[in-house]
Chain A
């Protein structure tokens, strides 16, 4: 008998020759994409930035073209319904979407209300609303916290809540667009643990856009890859796409799991791999199967000697007995407790720690953004507690997380000249200096553009330029790669490495520990307002106890290397740059 129920054989999602062009744009991204997702399948969408991944997710939900105006050719069917001819509200019964920013998708004042929001809008009876809400909250482990305000949850907790809200909407498809880009490693893991629960019974299909594959890869069944123009270049099981086409993907500008990136490099140095690894554990097993490995490369970055070796004439920043309180009265709590710290001139220092450990407060005190108590901070002799803005800008520049916050004028040129003009220097001299910086930061062609109209990368470079034009030898950056795609983050890291090479002291707060392993010469580990370590990255990553106390997770490469049994000299490696074999 060939009487199959069409509902069970029909794919959950069918995308056919889909092209999308946003109004006012020239190019179509995605461009002619066709694929389908089976019921219960987890599909990962990869592609370099600008390939139209986010646009694709909006089209799966019908938000493109119903809410976000765009030209659409081809078709998208979810649960058999054509998204173009059904309203977003109708589609919400079949497909739900989880966005990148947890703050921008939570709209009510309690966890329970949030999960009930979609079924309430769908006019379901109260008992159905509550039953769905309870089932969804239990799935992500938030049922016990249903009466709390979402604002008190951690970032990972809020994204889990967004996933629960998507579940409660009742659809068989969940689309997630970079759900962990705004989270630290612990938060990302939290989200993927929940997602694993969600897909465990095979009742829901998932489409996932994600660039940090270390946490996601074990969850994924299939991968589709878009190229820079938005055309589909690969579609297949995760094992085929990631293991057999890794080099091709790298060339496309797609980010691979750290273990895969490492293996691609090593295979160029002659290390044999039967098949490329996707996880740290697989990498360790593959390397242990090889009798002899080439010697690891010497570290690219030279670690700075720790505190004791610092003499006053090479100290760029010195902090003594710094305690900072937040709040007033009984709510007054110490954010930093008795911090002592010396940072060498020319070092690249990473400040790490979980949210609330005091990273931002320490950075702001060093740069005088929030004035520290007198006598606790010294920038080569200057006390930011007492210095005027102009004097401060000759010593230290501060770059905020969002570069737009710093813009004050109407052109890029004025923006750079803003600080120097206040010092009353010769206009000709200022012009010359501005021109030089415009060239150095690749902004010469944009000199007369309004800063708000620059691209994201240009905005970031401009904010670094304005921080440095006063002649500051110390550059302080607060989470500069937070919420950014990999490409832009790398561009910034390259810029910072160049600045450090020319003598600038760089201090960065970050939660990207792989970045720390690759670029930092020293690491300051904060926990609960105290400095619990200040050491070179390798020493920090070697110390399990320290990482646990700080609540940090070892980055993927280091996790793999520490599993090695046959190659003791490789166990301490944390940076990809120490692996033999050319990067590309």
Chain B
């Protein structure tokens, strides 16, 4: 979110960006190793609750989280369920019997668990994604993780290339469409098309990067081992409280939920 587009700030915005990355890590690990349904559901709901109350997401993001995410979980359930190896699931209840193919209730449950795990991971990752800005995250890594600023700020500048490259790629695709399909057909043609668009994209990217690097050097970038930081991203008591609470709740959920 840019400073210009003022939206009300929730309590997650008041945290150090590193905290919103570190706090959900144990929960993410718990979700990854879980095989039951309750663990991902618990963390999914917890994460959603935190985002909706603490990050004040836009209407669009809220709609995606509340409406589209459940739908995606449902689709994922069927998709993963059909893919699951029937030999590894509970085959006591047959839901669908189409000749050689049988869909078991156990398959669907396995599919549900898989898509819930993915959804929970996504929501936990969004805790940081929806509350921290890129520049603040970079400042924190320089400040607290001792990441050299030359690397961090270069990465940030490179991140600003992305929209430009997307535009370039779109232009290249248009330009190639105008040239027509050419003689070759089939996969060979597809591959040569991809390589043909990579070359101009890279040529443009390298030229652009060189120019940006010159402009940064000319403005004393990298002159000293540190640089003045106008707004320090603070690490405060509430950050410690948030991490401790998050980890405690994670531990409680993992311990209290009956292991399957």
Which A residues fall within an 8 A CB radius of B?
Answer: 58, 61, 63, 66-68, 87-90, 92-93, 96-97, 99, 101, 103-110, 113, 116-126, 129-130, 147-149, 151-152, 165, 169, 364, 367-370, 389-390, 392-393, 398, 400, 402, 404-409, 418-419, 421-422, 452, 466
Contacts and interface: CB of A to CB of B under 8 A. Distances in A.
Interface string B206-221: 0010011111111111
A421 B182 contact: yes
Contacts of B227: 120-121, 123
B160 A104 contact: no
Interface residues of B, number: 51
A394 B103 CA distance: 55
B211 A105 contact: yes
Contacts, number: 169
A124 B229 CA distance: 10
Interface of B: 2-4, 134-135, 153, 156-157, 160, 163-164, 168, 171-172, 174-183, 192-193, 196, 199-200, 203-204, 208, 211-224, 226-230
Given A389-B181, A392-B178, 7 more contacts: A63-B218, A101-B211, A106-B160, A109-B135, A122-B224, A404-B203, A408-B179
B140 to A, nearest CB: 16
A407 B196 contact: yes
Contact of B218 (A88, A147, A149): A88
Contact of A129 (B3, B164, B223, B230): B230
B177 A107 contact: no
B223 A89 contact: yes
Contacts of A118: 219-220
A400 B215 contact: no
Contact of B183 (A97, A106, A422): A422
Nearest to B215: A105
Contacts of A66: 217
B216 A107 contact: yes
Contacts of A88: 217-218, 220
B179 A419 contact: yes
A109 B222 CA distance: 19
A58 B172 CA distance: 31
B162 to A, nearest CB: 12
Contact of B175 (A117, A151, A406): A406
A402 B176 CA distance: 13
Contacts of A393: 178-180
B212 A107 contact: yes
Given A125-B228, A130-B230, A369-B178, A67 B214 contact: yes
Given A104-B212, A109-B160, A422-B180, A116 B224 contact: no
A442 B10 CA distance: 65
12 contacts: A89-B222, A97-B218, A107-B153, A107-B157, A109-B135, A129-B228, A130-B230, A370-B174, A392-B180, A406-B178, A406-B179, A418-B179
